[in-house]
């Protein structure tokens, strides 16, 4: 992509409405635009990151055997009346009437809709287990939308729902999601700690919030110091294996949200206990027959008797993740994207646009990178180098390839690693070889 053809409305000034660094940087980098309180448009650069995160989430759900579908954003109130949640949900639910005066709502979550779909088709235990998910916009009329897309009113969520014949099946479905979440967050370069969370009226131990430690986090959390260093995927099983040992190993290391933390029962020595703030990026939850019962999701069991299916639901805040990745990964100059979600891998900077030698070399590098399918943003604007450096650092692409008249005289270009700041001079060919064939780690 050529920057002159792109839409990158970066800001020099720090917007004063933004209280946390991720919000400030997303506004300054031209990633999002607020259209009303808690509701944002995703501008091209931000949308690329959102889609990359979405794709990683999707790949790991698929790997765990979950099946993607797409449910509507607008739901009928009727289903929520059947489950008993229509009145309970309160003001967070955006209620709408259509032209026929029918009660509708913008879905804040989709347990009712998915259970209704499931029960319409699945009638036998032989069709279990199933896990169905979608990645869809949700609306919650949050009382205090804040921190940009971190706590928005409209936000993108991955929500999966498992259906099983019995508790043992539901437990396995839960453990698969537990593993899928650890794999997902690792690919996003995030250390997300599964913390024991409130499990509602069902009780039991199967409710975990996945939390990233960050000073700007909204929740207070408590965990064993070991989590801070733990390689969570060391000796991770594959989805086909028995996941019980892995699950028990991880859930035995203390980690709890504020609601679940009980100082009287926490066995950790004070110096071993971390008390911190955190950002919730995912939540997995087993709730038995809470929805299947009122909505009538019943299958015929092996003995011919009807069985109300056991369910769980599993959410990831896909749009919140964009901010959650920036919070621990930035410096004074801007964002530092992990390569897996960077909007482009390389920023090509022409330090003297209009100079015949610089233009020729940049065009050749640009063509070669495109041919090699390396995602590249080419700053071909006629601006000063200083302004180009500042924008490129701000938007945080993992690699910058700098082409200027001085280097070209000795036949070199410069490759800068955004994260380490390390710069090396090398020939065009070696630069290309590095960016194309070798898997560079940012
Ligand atoms: P929170 O305690 O932050 O309000 P929640 O318990 O209401 O979250 P869930 O219903 O479990 O959240 O939704 C699944 C995921 O969706 C959360 O883990 C979070 O990452 C994300 N999420 C929830 N509310 C918002 C929001 N208002 N804006 C952005 N993401 C959100
Ligand atoms: Mg909430």
- pLDDT score at 437: 74
Mode of pairing for the β-strands spanning 130-139 and 67-68: parallel
Of 365, 344, 377, nearest in space to 412 by CA:
365
Q: Please tell me if the CB atom of residue 107 comes closer than 6 angstroms to any atom of ligand 1.
A: no
Which ligand is closest in space to the CA of residue 318? 1
- pLDDT score at 265: 85
pLDDT digits (tens, 9 = 90+) for 57-80: 999 999 999 999 999 999 999 999
- pLDDT score at 201: 67
Q: Please tell me if the CB atom of residue 140 comes closer than 6 angstroms to any atom of ligand 1.
A: yes
- pLDDT score at 250: 96
Closest C-alpha residue for ligand 1 atom 1: 280
Q: How far apart are the first and last CA of the chain?
A: 21
Name the residue of 143, 217, 219, 280 whose CB sits within 8 Å of the most ligand 1 atoms, as the mutation to test its pocket: 280
Which ligand is closest in space to the CA of residue 39? 1
Could you tell me the distance, in angstroms and rounded to a whole number, from the CA of residue 188 to the centre of ligand 2? 23
Mode of pairing for the β-strands spanning 255-257 and 219-224: antiparallel
- pLDDT score at 202: 66
Could you tell me the distance, in angstroms and rounded to a whole number, from the CA of residue 252 to the centre of ligand 1? 25
Which ligand is closest in space to the CA of residue 92? 2
Could you tell me the distance, in angstroms and rounded to a whole number, from the CA of residue 33 to the centre of ligand 1? 21
- pLDDT score at 441: 54
Q: What DSSP line would sit under 69-131, residue for residue?
A: ----SEEEHHHHHHHTHHHHTGGGSEEEE-TT--EEEE-S--HHHHHHHHHHH--BGGG--EE
Q: What DSSP line would sit under 323-391, residue for residue?
A: HHHHTTSEETTEE---TTT-S-SEEEEETTTT-HHHHHHHHHHHHHHHHTT--EEEE--S--HHHHHHH
Q: With 0-12 CB in 10 A as exposed, 13-18 as middle and 19+ as buried, what is 158?
A: buried
Q: Please tell me if the CB atom of residue 138 comes closer than 6 angstroms to any atom of ligand 1.
A: no
Which ligand is closest in space to the CA of residue 281? 1
- pLDDT score at 440: 54
| Minimum-distance ligand 1 atom for the alpha carbon of 321 | 20
- Is residue 32 within 8 Å of 45, Cβ to Cβ? no
Alpha carbons 226 and 15: distance in angstroms, whole number: 38
Alpha carbons 29 and 13: distance in angstroms, whole number: 11
pLDDT digits (tens, 9 = 90+) for 371-410: 999 999 999 999 999 999 999 999 999 999 999 999 999 9
- pLDDT score at 16: 86
Closest C-alpha residue for ligand 1 atom 16: 317
Q: Please tell me if the CB atom of residue 180 comes closer than 6 angstroms to any atom of ligand 1.
A: no
Name the residue of 107, 185, 317 whose CB sits within 8 Å of the most ligand 1 atoms, as the mutation to test its pocket: 317
Average pLDDT per block of 10 residues along the chain, 442 residues long: 98 90 98 98 98 98 98 98 95 97 98 98 98 98 97 98 98 98 98 92 83 94 96 96 97 94 90 96 96 98 98 98 98 97 98 98 98 97 97 98 97 98 97 81 52
């Amino acid at each position: 992509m050529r920057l002159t053809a792109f839409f990158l409305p970066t800001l020099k000034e720090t917007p004063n409405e933004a209280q946390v660094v991720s919000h400030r940087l997303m506004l300054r980098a031209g990633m999002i635009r607020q259209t009303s309180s808690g509701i944002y448009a995703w501008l091209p650069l931000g949308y690329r990151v959102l889609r990359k995160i979405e794709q990683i989430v999707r790949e790991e759900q698929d790997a765990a055997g979950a099946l993607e579908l797409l449910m509507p954003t607008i739901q009928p109130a009727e289903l929520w009346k059947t489950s008993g949640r229509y009145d309970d949900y309160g003001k967070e639910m955006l209620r709408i009437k259509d032209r026929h005066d029918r009660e509708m709502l913008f879905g804040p979550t989709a347990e009712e809709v998915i259970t209704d779909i499931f029960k319409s088709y699945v009638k036998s235990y032989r069709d279990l287990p199933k896990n169905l998910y979608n990645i869809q916009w949700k609306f919650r009329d949050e009382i205090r939308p804040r921190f940009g897309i971190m706590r928005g009113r409209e936000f993108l969520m991955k929500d999966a729902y498992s259906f099983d014949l019995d508790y043992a099946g539901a437990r396995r479905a839960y453990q698969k999601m537990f593993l899928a979440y650890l794999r997902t967050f690792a690919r996003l370069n995030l250390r997300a700690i599964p913390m024991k969370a409130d499990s509602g009226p069902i009780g039991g131990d199967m409710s975990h919030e996945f939390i990233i430690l960050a000073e700007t986090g909204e929740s207070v959390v408590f965990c064993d110091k070991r989590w801070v260093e733990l390689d969570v995927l060391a000796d991770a099983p594959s989805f086909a294996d028995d996941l019980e040992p892995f699950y028990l190993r991880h859930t035995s290391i203390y980690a709890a949200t504020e609601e679940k933390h009980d100082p009287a029962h926490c066995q950790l020595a004070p110096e071993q206990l971390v008390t911190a703030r955190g950002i919730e990026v995912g939540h997995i939850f087993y709730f038995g027959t809470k929805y299947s019962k009122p909505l009538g999701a019943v299958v015929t069991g092996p003995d011919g008797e009807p069985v109300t299916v056991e369910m769980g639901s599993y959410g990831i805040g896909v749009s919140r993740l964009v901010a959650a990745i920036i919070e621990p990964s930035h410096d004074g100059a801007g964002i530092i994207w992990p390569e897996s979600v960077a909007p482009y891998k390389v920023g090509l900077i022409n330090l003297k646009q209009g100079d015949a030698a610089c233009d020729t070399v940049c065009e050749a590098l640009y063509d070669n990178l495109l041919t090699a399918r390396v995602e590249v943003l080419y700053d071909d604007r006629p601006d000063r180098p200083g302004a180009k450096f500042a924008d490129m650092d701000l938007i945080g692409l993992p690699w910058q390839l700098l082409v200027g008249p001085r280097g070209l005289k000795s036949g070199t270009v410069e490759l800068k690693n955004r994260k380490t700041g390390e710069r090396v001079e090398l020939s065009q060919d070696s630069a290309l070889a590095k960016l194309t064939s070798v898997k560079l780690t940012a």
